[in-house]
Amino acid sequence: MRRIFAAVAVLLAAIASAAALAQAYPAKPVKLVVPFPPGGNVDTIGRLMAQKLTDAFGQQVFVENRPGGAGIIGAEAVAKSPPDGYTIFVGTSGALSSAPALQPKLPYDPVKSFAPISVLTAAPVVVIVQGSIPVSSLKEFIEYAKARPGKLTYGSAGVGHFLHVAGEAFNVAAGVQLFHVPYKGVNQALVDMLAGRLDVMIDTIVIYAPHVQSGKLKALAVAQKKRLARMPELPTTAEAGLPGYEFASYFGMLAPAGTPGDIVRRLNAEVVKALGSPDVLDALSKMGVEPFPTTPEEYAKLIVEDGAKWRQIVQTAGIKIN
């Protein structure tokens, strides 16, 4: 009986200690690791969140850029940090889904090495074609492509890049054979598309929107369940006749595995609140991404499901990094 009472006492003490830790958190500055250089969307979103968390906590949350390896270097740094809530990570689909699908020997496990906090944003891809292609809908484009197997081209920012996988997923879902052309960056692909040297881009809409509005390019459908707030006239892939094709890039916030649940939940509450603030919503809209707040459990499920989808596409398409 004494042993039982002793065990209960230890358990209650541990619970009280964890609760006290969460209430005191954060007692010192918090580091938010962004796995890309300053200036891009991931960095901008990270800095928005850092400022909002600083305001909420009354304690500095600062960004540390750890670029390299398409997000792998930053992910490894956080995965190996103490699980105390003082090092958190702006994770991307690249680090959590594509890299594991393409590189089986990573220095971290996307599921086991992190404690998900919340998804921050979702950036769905849009099927975009050059203006000279004689189609006005996704259904017409699929028929047009089926009649020209291997003759129409689509671009990406490199072999194994998010857009490469998105394009191969489209090939499978639509039953077409678009030919992949890898570029060093999407800006170069856009130049070729406007010049008529590239037929298709399956990418987030932001840099293409002005050219869609001018009529030089055509946006046919967005690959998610709901329409884009910035282009409400654009149908979803399901509405356009391709319900099996949904593809988006996610940015999210994670802590090292083993971070106390109370700290994860507090971070989640503040992140969700921040994503609903008018200034953040305005900034995200200008970047062409949409807020996508979740619970920690929903984000964990998304990482598992997204990883499985990427592995299947990579295997089916035979994508390999040399």
Q: What is the DSSP string of 30-64?
A: EEEEESS-TTSHHHHHHHHHHHHHHHHHTS-EEEE
Token digits of residue 175: 């039953």
Judged against a pLDDT cut of 50, whether residue 14 lies above it is answered with no
Distance CA 11, CA 13 (A): 5
Selected residue with higher pLDDT from 66 and 40: 66
Classified as helix, coil or strand, 124 is strand
The candidate with the shortest Cα–Cα distance to 193, out of 149, 138, 156, 140, is 156
Judged against a pLDDT cut of 60, whether residue 114 lies above it is answered with yes
Burial of 140 (0-12, 13-18, 19+ CB in 10 A): middle
The candidate with the shortest Cα–Cα distance to 259, out of 34, 86, 105, is 86
Query: For the sheet containing 290-291, what is the strand order?
Result: 61-65, 30-34, 87-92, 248-256, 114-124, 290-291
As a whole number, the mean pLDDT across the chain is 91
| CB 247, CB 104: distance < 8 Å | no
Neighbours of 254 (CB within 10 A): 30
Position 22 scores a pLDDT of 57
Judged against a pLDDT cut of 60, whether residue 3 lies above it is answered with no
Q: The domain at 27-122+249-317 falls in which architecture?
A: 3-Layer(aba) Sandwich (3.40)
Entry pTM: 0.81
What would the mean pLDDT of 190-208 be, rounded to a whole number?
Answer: 95
Predicted confidence band at 317 (pLDDT cuts at 50, 70, 90)?
A: confident
Judged against a pLDDT cut of 50, whether residue 15 lies above it is answered with no
Token digits of residue 120: 């921050």
| CB 221, CB 239: distance < 8 Å | yes
Fold equal for 27-122+249-317 and 126-222:
yes
Distance CA 248, CA 310 (A): 11
What would the mean pLDDT of 298-319 be, rounded to a whole number?
Answer: 92
Distance of CA 242 to the CA centre of its chain: 22
What would the mean pLDDT of 57-73 be, rounded to a whole number?
Answer: 93
Percentage of the residues of the chain whose pLDDT score is greater than 70: 93
Judged against a pLDDT cut of 80, whether residue 149 lies above it is answered with yes
- Over the stretch 255-291, which tens digit does the pLDDT of each residue have? 999 999 999 999 999 999 999 999 999 999 888 788 9
Selected residue with higher pLDDT from 142 and 160: 142
Position 104 scores a pLDDT of 79
Helix/strand/coil percent split, the chain, to 5: 45, 20, 35
End-to-end CA distance of the chain: 64
Tell me the β-bridge partners of 290.
Answer: 122
Judged against a pLDDT cut of 80, whether residue 165 lies above it is answered with yes
Selected residue with higher pLDDT from 293 and 158: 293
Position 106 scores a pLDDT of 92
What would the mean pLDDT of 49-74 be, rounded to a whole number?
Answer: 95
The DSSP line for 206-239 is: TTTHHHHHHTSEEEEEESSSS--SS-TTSPBTTT
What would the mean pLDDT of 296-311 be, rounded to a whole number?
Answer: 95
| CB 252, CB 234: distance < 8 Å | no
Predicted confidence band at 34 (pLDDT cuts at 50, 70, 90)?
A: very high
Judged against a pLDDT cut of 50, whether residue 55 lies above it is answered with yes
Distance CA 117, CA 107 (A): 21
Position 68 scores a pLDDT of 87
Predicted confidence band at 244 (pLDDT cuts at 50, 70, 90)?
A: confident
Residue 96 to residues 113, 169, 256, 315, Cα–Cα distance (Å): 10, 18, 13, 17
| Domain residue spans of the chain | 27-122+249-317, 126-222
What would the mean pLDDT of 48-56 be, rounded to a whole number?
Answer: 98
Q: The domain at 126-222 falls in which architecture?
A: 3-Layer(aba) Sandwich (3.40)
Position 16 scores a pLDDT of 45
What would the mean pLDDT of 201-230 be, rounded to a whole number?
Answer: 93
CA quadruple 138, 228, 90, 322: dihedral, nearest 10: 10
Angle between helices 296-317 and 261-275 (to 10 degrees): 80
